[in-house]
Structure 1
Amino acid sequence: MGTSTHQQGTEPPPDLAETLDDGFLSELCAGLFASIPRMDQRRRGEQYVRGLLLAEGRKSIRNIAALLGQASAEQSLHHFVSSSTWEWVPVRQALAAYVQRAVPPLAWVIRPVVTPKAGRHSVGVDRYLVPESGQVVNAQRSMSVWAVRDELSVPVGWRLHLSRAWLEDGPRRRKALIPEGWEEETAEECAVETYLDIGLERSAGPVVMHVGKADVARTVGRLRAVGVPFLLRISGAQEFRQAPHGGVPLRVAGPVGGRQLLHAFRDFRRPVAHPPHTGTTWRHVTTLPVHAPPVPAHRRRGVDGAGTLLLLGVSPADGGRSDDVWLTDMTDAPLHRLLRLTRFLDRVETDLATVSEEVGVRDFAGRSFSGWHRHVTLASVAHLVAAVSAHEAHRALPQFCH
């Protein structure tokens, strides 16, 4: 589907009450919820998604029940989300499979999501440092996976990142219904496991991710170990060694920061055109083969730290700011394709704020592990409906194959 005209950072989407196609919603939910065994649960699932789309204000169970106008709806919806037995993983896998057929993604963006919370009882809530703002917040922290193309993105996978404080507190863990055997994960492990949970083929497309100042070596190692191609936005201070490559002189002997290394090869910079939604923009792109950052011996379990990668510096053609620094294992990919992929982080950032937030992805007020997972799964379905219902795009989508 290439007919959607949703733009980044432009006017808000139309009122869903006017654009929502009931037939499309019902058909989609029937297919996505086919793994849910009971008919009444599948019906509640569609009602919940409808409520996420149309309820006014915060997408609480109370407000969703008020929209339905049924006296018993609040209790039954609460049970459906927080205390029921249906599995959310098959629903997410069905969602990802449908998106792959209906709006084939060009990449999969892995993005952390921080949800501020007032108390400490919601599952996973802890004190976290937000690198972007430098502030410590009381929040839930999760990883999300988004199927992305130029005109839209859809979240298809989620995973709570649980701290040691939660996993080692037996009573609190049991009260939140955290599964037995759930162990502490690094941020890098959590990110890759979120992707693997969806059950995608390795050929499904590259992963794009903002790593920043996190453990680049560990992230690269985990992705290479599972055979997933990647493009990572990293800190310019991350150190690399230049790798020998035909035609590229060895100018820097030791490990130096990526931005400094790229600057030493600024005469290799070339202009690359990229056609976004309107007009054509140009970027200056510098590329340089580098050795994969070494993984310390005590952290090598389950990672692959060998090989040559490609370092990219991307800046506006007018030289308005310093390079964004990227790292990829797609060393033979055309530069215009890599440049296109760099835009997908912004695509997800926009859609999280203008679509997912509007359908209440952060609005779950319950305290259980299973309740949170079911809510964000249903919110992901609502996001897909909202993203395509604002346009006539859904009329061209394939029907769901049961």
Structure 2
Amino acid sequence: MDLSWDDAARAGRFEDYIEGLAGALGHKDRDEPFRHYCAGLLLPGERKSVEPMAARLSPGSVSAEHQSLLHFVGQSPWSAGSLLSAVRSAVLPALTDQAPVEAWIVDDTGFPKKGKHSVGVARQYCGQLGKQDNCQVAVSLSVASVASSLPVAWRLYLPKAWAKAWAKDAARRAKAGVPDDVIFATKTRIALDQIAWAAACPDIPKGVVVSDAGYGNEMDFRLGVADLGLCYVAGIQSTTTLWAPGAGPLMPSASRGQGRPQTRLQHPRDQAPVSAKTLAEGLSADHWRKITWREGVAGPLCSRFAALRLRPAHRDRRRCEPWPGEWLLIEWPEGETEPTKYWLANLPEDTSIERLVHLAKLRWRIERDYRELKQELGLGHYEGRGWRGFHHHAALCIAAYGFLLKERIAIPPSGPCNRPLLQEPALPEGFRPRGAADPTRAAHPDIHRHAAPDHRRGAGKETAPMSMLSPSDPRQNQNHTKFMTQ
């Protein structure tokens, strides 16, 4: 495989990067398919599944390249977790030199699927489609600064119905390659496990845990993060019940007689918890501030926000002490009829509203991770059905993404934009795509290939042979999408 880089220095950095990660694969024989797979993900092309990549990487020996990549991603017993750790070690120093880590962002992303045999596939909410549909869903954790972010943990979610059904079918579970120690866990539980793992890694700088309401609305998630000694800015729903500022439950009263003393909190007769939406709609105009949090493509991003210090009211009648005080952050954009977003944050009382907004809005970085991993690196293009291949392909995409991040960080703001990382390898002389006619062979005498009846589509027009390389033969198309470094 002879790849054409945009410059020799970058080619050397790619080789050094791949060599540095290859030790995580456990065997020298895996180094070459690893290098090829990562290069295939970085090459231009609409599809980043195994066969199209093999055709782009080795047009003269597609079948052999296809088998090599297919075995490497789907069957070879290397650890996806070990590769992700190696990527982290290689990329985080550059990321933190650029800007300090501020947030750990948790989220999940869906992959639409047809059929029912792929591991973890079920009818569930798919964010990519914005509706319930047949898909796989993975939960991930990204480490983020104001300038960059990197996924450091990744796991497929197994829906409860799927896990329950397949737990009774050992043969089907074995065929999918689901490890014996993998049992049903909610997305929240998976996210907490990833956060706990990251908290135990000394080389991952601590950050504020940031999530949307899919995670933050669960009290157990927020408690789990706090129990790890971490702060959070977690999205909640408008119906979440809270005490108004200055209000709260009553402490248990002392016993005045022979009865059992009270041990749980009581609600005052003249006060009750209210929803976050009710609190927001009751605020006066002077509570709201217009805050800009970053520059967008079309200009500064800004909105109206309010922040209140208060206590959650979740099941506090079962407790003997009130919940600790937290920040409620509310966003109500101008022109909207009601608030659009709410967050709870256990940051200190002296935290500014600007800081709260900045952290809450850093969640866009994981959305950018997902978008670039899917659109540019083919994260959703894996066509296998097994657990191992699903996680291997994701880890390889993140490895390629890590190289891209390092290159972006190395390029100064005044550096070149719109520069493709790689060009497709040159086709060998006499190359013929699979399925194309052999020009050296005579046409069958009984078939008049160039005398099609007029009623046929395209009659009278000369057609080119179909190529395996999408969208068209690379010898003729030099303008297909390139993978940019900025």
Q: For residues 254 and 111 of structure 1, what CA distance do their matches in structure 2 show?
A: 33
| SS of equivalent to 2:146 | coil
Q: Is the 8 A contact 1:107 1:148 kept in 2?
A: yes
Match runs of 1:202-213 below 5 Å: 204-212=206-214
Question: Deviations for 1:225-279, whole angstroms, at most 9, x for unmatched residues?
Answer: 323321112211222223648xxxx9x9322211211333345624264452367
Higher mean displacement: 268-277 or 156-165: 268-277
Q: Mapping of 1:245-264 within 5 angstroms?
A: 253-264=271-282
Which of 122-131 and 277-286 deviates more? 277-286
Structure 1, 65-74 or 109-118: larger mean CA deviation: 65-74
Note the C-alpha offset of 1:387: 4.1
1:98 Cα deviation (Å)?
3.5
Specify the code of the residue in structure 2 equivalent to 1:313.
Answer: I
Q: State the partner residue of 2:43.
A: 54
Structure 1 counterpart of 2:143, from 141, 147, 150: 147
2:76 is aligned with what amino acid?
Answer: S
1:262-281 to structure 2, matched below 5 A, reads 262-267=280-285, 269-271=287-289, 273-274=291-292, 276-277=294-295
Q: Secondary structure at the match of 2:365?
A: helix
Displacement of 1:73 in angstroms is: 1.8
The offset of 1:77, in angstroms, is 1.4
Give the match for residue 172 of structure 1: 172
Task: Output the amino acid matched with 2:30.
Answer: Q
Write the deviation string for residues 103-142 of structure 1: whole angstroms up to 9, x where unpaired. 1232121111111101111110011134897732000011
3-state SS in 1 of match to 2:117: coil
Q: Does 1:286 align with 2:282?
A: no
Match of 2:185 in 1: 185
Q: C-alpha separation between the residues in 2 aligned to 1:393 and 1:321?
A: 44
Deviation at 1:159, TM superposition (A): 0.9
Equivalent runs, 1:279-358 vs 2, <5 Å: 282-292=302-312, 294=314, 306-316=323-333, 318=334, 320=336, 322-323=338-339, 324-332=341-349, 333-358=351-376
1:68 matched to 2:60? no
TM-score (norm: length of structure 2): 0.68
| 1:29 and 2:21 aligned | no
Does the CA contact (< 8 Å) of 1:99 and 1:147 recur in 2? no
**Bigger Rg over Cα:** 2
8 Å Cα contact 1:155/1:383 also seen in 2: no
Please state whether the residue corresponding to 1:150 is helix, strand or coil. coil
Partner of 2:454: none
Greater Cα shift, 60-69 or 193-202: 193-202
- Structural RMSD (CA): 3.4
Q: Which residue of 2 aligns with 1:224?
A: 226
| 8 A Cα contact 2:74 2:389, kept in partner | yes
Q: Number of paired residues?
A: 371
Does the Cα contact within 8 Å between 1:217 and 1:293 map onto a contact in 2? no
Q: Which amino acid is 1:87 matched to?
A: S
Ranges in structure 1 where 5+ consecutive residues have no aligned partner:
1-15, 396-402
Structure 2 distance, partners of 1:268, 1:218, is 34
Looking at structure 1, the residues matched to 51 and 196 of structure 2 have their Cα atoms a distance apart, in angstroms, of 34
**1:133 and 1:366 mapped to 2: Cα distance?**
21
Write the distance in 1 (CA, Å) between the matches of 2:348 and 2:313: 16
Q: Which moved more, 1:382-391 or 1:43-52?
A: 382-391
C-alpha contact (below 8 Å) 2:287/2:306 kept by paired residues: yes
Q: Kindly indicate whether the alpha-carbon contact (under 8 Å) linking 1:210 and 1:234 is maintained by their aligned counterparts in 2.
A: yes
Give the aligned residue type for 1:365: E
Task: Compute the displacement of 1:75 (Å).
Answer: 1.3
- Mapping 1:106-185, distance limit 5 Å: 106-130=102-126, 135-168=131-164, 169=166, 170=169, 171-185=171-185
2: distance between equivalents of 1:296 and 1:163? 31
- Distance (Å, rounded) in 1 between the aligned partners of 2:335 and 2:374: 34
Between stretches 55-64 and 261-270, larger displacement belongs to 261-270
Q: C-alpha distance in 2, partners of 1:129/1:96?
A: 30
More displaced 10-residue stretch of structure 1: 230-239 or 144-153: 144-153
Conserved 8 A contact 2:212-2:235: yes
**Counterpart Cα distance in 2 of 1:383 and 1:394:** 19
Structure-2 separation of matches of 1:350 and 1:197: 23
- Residue 23 (structure 1) shift: 2.1
131 and 366 in structure 1: CA distance in 2 versus 1, 3 angstrom threshold: closer
Quote the sequence identity (%).
24
Contact residue 215 and residue 235 of structure 2 kept, 8 A? no
CA contact 2:329–2:356 (8 Å) conserved in 1? no
SS in 2 for 1:291: strand
Contact 1:176 1:368 (C-alpha < 8 Å) held by counterparts: yes
Which whole-Å CA distance do the structure 2 matches of 1:64 and 1:273 have between them? 46
Alpha-carbon shift at residue 161 of structure 1 (Å): 0.9
- Residue 411 of structure 2: aligned partner: 393
Query: What SS class does the counterpart of residue 33 from structure 1 fall into?
Result: helix
> Could you report, residue by residue, the CA deviation over 1:324-344 in whole angstroms, capped at 9, with x for unpaired residues?
211111134332222112222
One-letter amino acid of the counterpart of residue 48, structure 2: K
**Which deviates more, 324-333 or 305-314?**
305-314
Name the CA distance, whole Å, in 2 between partners of 1:100 and 1:213.
26
- Going from structure 1 to structure 2, the CA distance change for 1:281 and 1:369 (only over 3 Å counts) comes to closer
Q: Provide Cα deviations, 1:347-384, integer angstroms capped at 9, x if missing partner.
A: 33234224443101111111111111111011011122
Aligned residue for 1:277, secondary structure, equals strand
AA aligned opposite 2:324: G
Are the equivalent residues in 1 in contact too, given 2:125–2:132 (CA < 8 A)?
yes
With 131-140 and 333-342 compared, the bigger mean Cα shift is at 131-140
